[in-house]
Amino acid sequence: MESNFYPNMNNGATPAYPYQGFQPMPNMMQPNQSQVSPYTIKQNQVFPSMMKPNQFYPGIMQPFPQMMQPNANTIYPYMNNINVPNVIQPFGVGHSGFINNIPDIDEMELLDNIEDIENMENIEELGGIDAKGTTSNRPAAIISDNAPVPTISLFKELTAYPNYGNPSGNADILYTGNRGVWTFQIPTIISALGNLRAQLVIRAALDDHANVPVDRYSLRIAVNGVTVHNGRVALEHGTPAGRQFNNWRLLTFNITNVRRNNRIVIVNTSNAGENDWIGFDWMEMRFRQ
């Protein structure tokens, strides 16, 4: 049998076109022609709009030997019709080759339960509650979604003594009777925002002298000459002793007289020994509208 679709399948006959330079497609060949110039439009050359039934156009697909079925002698350019046994069946297109033996996709077990997806609840409707149908006895979530509040802060790390602070490893210390002064200068960009509410936040802890009662420790704290605290402080002895404390607490005070240059004065007024002290890890001024 002879096929004019591939030059090496003519049972030893002279190839329909040569393997040199430009390789014209079979339907571009004229009778008894062995080579065609790639720039010449030949008489009776076929273009897609001129296609006839059972005629192959080279721009669609070039058949290869492994795509040929036994006794194939024609090709149909538009589809692989399994009802016509002598039509070339390229693998990977339609029901061709080994694909003919795959069960219909509707019968595949993988998709048996695909319809269940249609019964799923809208995920947005599940926010804040347990999924429908669960057997959990846990209480429903209690949440809120308040509007965010913009804040600005000035942070001051305190580093005078090389221990206790966490994670910095440093802290400032006031022994009984000591007085310390810290300043916060507000940048112009913050002042330009107008009237802002301000707070002073101090991260503090008592010394690690566990034998001294905590009720003997006290502080007097003033901001710009106005006392914001005077008395005992809700602090505990620092632990672990002699190392970075892991029980620092926050002392927070409202500031009503914010200035461009703010002066923080703290006095250790504790009724304790001279070597007893209160430590300060960091300070921060926070601003919000």
User: Does residue 66 lie within any of the structural domains?
Assistant: yes
User: Does residue 127 lie within any of the structural domains?
Assistant: no
Of residues 285, 283, 46, the one with CA closest to residue 172: 283
User: Does residue 147 lie within any of the structural domains?
Assistant: no
Same domain, 99 and 188: no
User: Does residue 41 lie within any of the structural domains?
Assistant: yes
Which amino acid is present at 147?
A
User: Does residue 116 lie within any of the structural domains?
Assistant: no
pLDDT at position 195 is 85
Distance CA 77, CA 88 (A): 10
Surface-to-core class of residue 185, CB atoms within 10 Å of its CB (0-12 exposed, 13-18 middle, 19+ buried): exposed
User: Does residue 120 lie within any of the structural domains?
Assistant: no
- For position 200, which CATH number holds? 2.60.120.260
Q: Determine contact, residues 190/206, Cβ cutoff 8 Å.
A: no
pLDDT at position 91 is 46
Same domain, 106 and 176: no
Same domain, 202 and 101: no
Q: Please, where are the H alpha helices in the chain?
A: 188-191
Per-residue pLDDT tens listing for the chain (289 residues): 444 444 444 444 444 444 444 455 555 555 555 444 444 455 555 555 666 666 555 555 555 555 555 555 544 444 444 555 554 444 444 444 444 555 555 555 554 555 555 555 555 555 555 555 566 789 999 999 999 988 899 999 999 999 999 999 999 999 999 999 999 999 998 888 888 899 999 999 999 999 999 999 999 999 999 999 999 999 999 999 999 999 999 999 999 999 999 999 999 999 999 999 999 999 999 999 8
Same domain, 59 and 169: no
User: Does residue 284 lie within any of the structural domains?
Assistant: yes
Q: Which of 78, 111, 144 is a domain's end point?
A: 111
Same domain, 95 and 188: no
Same domain, 274 and 173: yes
User: Does residue 142 lie within any of the structural domains?
Assistant: no
Same domain, 181 and 94: no
DSSP letter string, 1-63: ---SSSGGGSTTSPPSS-SSSS---GGGPPTT-----TTPPPTT---GGG--TT---TTT---
Q: Which of 82, 111, 140 is a domain's end point?
A: 111
Same domain, 77 and 180: no
Distance CA 66, CA 60 (A): 18
**Total number of domains constituting the chain:** 2
Same domain, 71 and 162: no
Same domain, 157 and 273: yes
Q: Which of 60, 88, 111 is a domain's end point?
A: 111
Same domain, 164 and 270: yes
Domain residues for the domain of 35 are: 1-111
Same domain, 97 and 174: no
Reading the block at residue 27, the tokens are 């339907």
244: CB partners within 8 A, 6+ apart: 163, 164, 165, 166, 167, 169
